[in-house]
Amino acid sequence: GIGMTPGNVARAFEPFFTTKGKGLGGVGLPMVKHFATEHGGSVEIESVLGAGTTVILRVPAARSELDAGQTDQG
């Protein structure tokens, strides 16, 4: 994309906020933020108008059930 204005970045996680026109979006980023925070993570947006946008999703690593049941035998 072309990047986002600071005002749009500030509103990006508001449900149904979109710059695409009524009924054309606005639920994706709020859902991502909800899922991330529910799992102890976070989401942030870095954007430069005219250059593009990066959305950074961080979630904590979790051990698999197999790893959790194993012990170090070395």
> For residues 15 and 30, what is the distance between their CA atoms, to the nearest angstrom?
6
- pLDDT number for residue 62: 79
pTM of this structure: 0.72
- pLDDT number for residue 19: 87
Residue 58 has pLDDT above 80, yes or no: yes
